[in-house]
Amino acid sequence: MNRLFPLAFILLAGLFNVPLCAATPTYAKPKLVREVLNGKRNVARVSWWGFDPKDSTEFLQSAINSKVKKLIIDRQKSAWVTRPLTGVSNQEIVFEKGTELIALKGAFQSKDDCLISFPQCENIIIRGEKKDCGKSEHIRMHKQDYESPAYEHSEWRHGIALYGCRNVLIQDLAIEETGGDGIYLGDFDGKHVNQNVVIRRVDCNDNYRNGISVISAENLLIEDCLLRNTSGTEPQSGIDFEPNSPDELLVNCVMRNCIAEGNAGIGYEICPQSMNSSSKPISINLVNCVSGNNREHAIDLCSAVKNPPAGLLRISHFTSTSDGMAGLAMQFNPYDAVRIEVEDSLFCDDALDDNFFPPIYIQVDSKNRPAGGISFKHVTVKDDIDRPFIKIVEPKGNMPKDMSGDITLERNGRRERIIIDKAWLLRYLAIPPISRG
Q: How many residues does the chain have?
A: 437
Distance separating alpha carbons of residues 145 and 112, to the nearest angstrom: 15
Q: Which of 277, 330, 283, 270 is nearest to 308 (CA)?
A: 277
For the whole model, what pTM was predicted? 0.93
Distance separating alpha carbons of residues 408 and 162, to the nearest angstrom: 42
Q: How confident is the model at residue 7 (pLDDT cuts 50, 70, 90)?
A: very low
Other CB atoms closer than 10 Å to residue 315's CB: what's the count?
24
Assess whether pLDDT exceeds 70 at residue 2: no
Distance separating alpha carbons of residues 286 and 315, to the nearest angstrom: 5
pLDDT the model gives residue 13: 45
Question: What digits encode the pLDDT tens for the residues 224-245?
Answer: 999 999 999 999 999 999 999 9
Residue 433 CB partners (closer than 8 Å, separation 6+): none
Q: Which of 316, 312, 303 is nearest to 281 (CA)?
A: 312
Mean pLDDT over the full length of the chain? 93
pLDDT the model gives residue 16: 42
Q: Is the model more confident about 10 or about 398?
A: 398
Q: How confident is the model at residue 190 (pLDDT cuts 50, 70, 90)?
A: confident
Question: What digits encode the pLDDT tens for the residues 328-375?
Answer: 999 999 999 999 999 999 999 999 999 999 999 999 987 789 999 999
Q: How confident is the model at residue 15 (pLDDT cuts 50, 70, 90)?
A: very low
pLDDT the model gives residue 435: 44
Sign of the alpha-carbon torsion through 308, 270, 346, 223 = positive
Question: What digits encode the pLDDT tens for the residues 263-291?
Answer: 999 999 999 999 999 999 999 999 999 99
The CATH classification of domain 7-13+75-436, taken from the options 3.30.720.210, 2.40.128.520, 2.40.10.220, 2.160.20.10:
2.160.20.10
- Helices within 310-432 (DSSP H only): 422-430
pLDDT the model gives residue 430: 66
Assess whether pLDDT exceeds 70 at residue 12: no
Q: What separation in angstroms does the CA of 97 have from each of 50, 189, 227?
A: 19, 36, 22
Distance separating alpha carbons of residues 418 and 407, to the nearest angstrom: 5
Assess whether pLDDT exceeds 60 at residue 390: yes
Question: What digits encode the pLDDT tens for the residues 121-168?
Answer: 999 999 999 998 888 999 999 999 999 999 999 999 999 999 999 999
Assess whether pLDDT exceeds 70 at residue 5: no
Domain spans, the chain: 7-13+75-436
SS3 category, 285: strand
CB 300 within 8 A of CB 270: yes
pLDDT the model gives residue 9: 43
Residue 334 CB partners (closer than 8 Å, separation 6+): 308, 364, 366, 369, 370, 371, 372, 373
Q: Is the model more confident about 215 or about 189?
A: 215
CB 320 within 8 A of CB 267: yes
- Of all residues in the chain, what percent carry a pLDDT higher than 90? 85
pLDDT the model gives residue 396: 73
